[in-house]
Amino acid sequence: MNNLSPQCQTVLKHLTAAGSITGVEAESCHKIRHLPSRIFEMKRSGYDIRSAVHHDCTGQRYVRYSLVTK
CATH topology for the 6-67 domain? Arc Repressor Mutant, subunit A (1.10.10)
Burial class (CB in 10 A: 0-12, 13-18, 19+), 20: middle
Higher-confidence residue of 70 and 38: namely: 38
In the chain, how many H helices and how many E strands? 3, 3
3-state secondary structure of 25: helix
pLDDT by residue (tens digit) across 17-44? Answer: 999 999 999 999 999 999 999 999 999 9
**Total-model pTM:** 0.90
**Domain ranges (residues) in the chain:** 6-67
Mean pLDDT of all residues in 10-18: 97
Query: Which pLDDT band holds residue 69 (cuts at 50, 70, 90)?
Result: confident
| Predicted local distance difference test score (pLDDT) of residue 1 | 60
The torsion angle over the Cα atoms of residues 11, 12, 14 and 20, rounded to 10 degrees, is 90
2 has pLDDT over 70:
no
Q: Which residues pair with 63 in a beta bridge?
A: 53
